[in-house]
Structure formats: structure tokens, C-alpha cells
Homo-oligomer: A and B are copies of this chain.
Amino acid sequence: MQFARPLAELIAQLEKLPGVGPKSAQRLAFHILRMADDDVRRLSESLLVAKRSLRLCDVCQNISEGERCEICSDPRRTDDVICVVGEARDITAMERLNEFRGKYHVLHGLLNPIDGIGPEQLKVRELIQRLANGVSEVIVATNPTVEGDTTAFYLAKLIKPLEIKVTRLAHGMPVGGELDYADTATLLSALEYRREI
């Protein structure tokens, strides 16, 4: 049996989403058919509105409603420290700490020569342009992966000549982790980043 055409189309569209296989697309579709009309309309609209009304912040490239994102418009945040992240969602992780009071810069990706992603594909030029205005430190908060490391070293090489400090989030043991279960790379980093107590 084929599903009725509009149902099959809905399932096909849902299946395109990341992490949604044929089975969960079906489950979602049947759920949607049982949802109240208003709820479906709200979901449908939120997709269009988000896609239509969001853009990148002119300054930090974060996802934003206006020319400047909330963080860049916040006068209580300092301009002299910039935290560089790979994706806009990484900002949320940092902001949960309630610790960092500087600004951000979103690269929208990480260097990956194998997939053909070089500095031109990332928002690197936009970052360098921001450094003219009294920035004292750039914290590179890219993921601790090969791509994240490559990106961090590339940025350090580019920015250090401008006499701006470039730092990186520490690698090491996750808090609460057990030495016995740590992988070699993590443990090696923990040793390398060790500090006096």
C-alpha cells in the first residue's frame, strides 16, 4: 500500500531532516495528523518566519533578527575580547556558563581541506576586520577535533603578528571523569595543559 499522497509527501519532507529516518518520519507524520489545526499552522508558519526573518549579524555573523545581534547590541559586554566559535549554536553552550562577558565571532564552519573548506569558505575575513578596534585577546573556542585544531592554529598564525593575544580552551579530563576510562589523546592533552597547584 502507498500512503495517501499528501501523507507520503509529508513523510518525504520530514525524512530530509537530520536524524529523521523513514520510521520516525512516519511516526511524526501520523502525530501531525492528530495535532490540533492551530498547532500545525503554528509549526508550519514558524518554519517560514524563521527562514525569512533571520539573517547574520553584520558584526559577529551570529544568527540575528536585525543588522546586529542581541549580544553585539548589549552595551554591558566588552569589545576587547572576542570568542571565536565554529557554529552559532556553540554560542549557546558558552553563554550557559554565564561567565564570558566579551563578544563572539561565528566562523560558520571549520577548516577542512579534504572537504575543500578553506579560509575563504569561513567568516575569517570578517574576523580580521574586527581586530583593528582595540581587541586585546581572541579566545578560539573551536571543537577539540582535527578540524577545530587546524582552524585554531591557522587563526593563531594569522592574528599573532597583529600583537593580539590568541588563546584556546583547555583540552583535558572532563570534570568527574575517570583516568582509567580516558582516551589517550585526552589524557595526553591533560598532561600537556597541566598547571601548578
Give residues in A with beta carbon < 8 Å to B: 1-7, 9-10, 12-14, 16-19, 24, 26-33, 35, 37, 39-51, 53-54, 63-65, 69-71, 87-89, 91-92, 95
Contacts and interface: CB of A to CB of B under 8 A. Distances in A.
A87 B30 contact: yes
Contact of A27 (B18, B64, B69): B18
Nearest to A69: B4
A196 to B, nearest CB: 34
A30 B41 CA distance: 20
Contacts of A13: 42-43, 46
B37 A17 contact: no
Contacts of A95: 1
A30 B50 CA distance: 10
Contacts of A10: 46-47, 49-50
B70 A26 contact: no
Contacts of A51: 32-33, 35, 37, 40
B71 A1 contact: yes
Contact of A70 (B1, B39, B44, B69): B1
A65 B26 contact: no
A30 B37 CA distance: 25
A45 B46 contact: no
A63 B8 CA distance: 11
Nearest to A48: B44
Given A14-B43, A40-B51, A19 B27 contact: yes
Given A26-B92, A63-B33, A49 B6 contact: yes
A53 B6 contact: yes
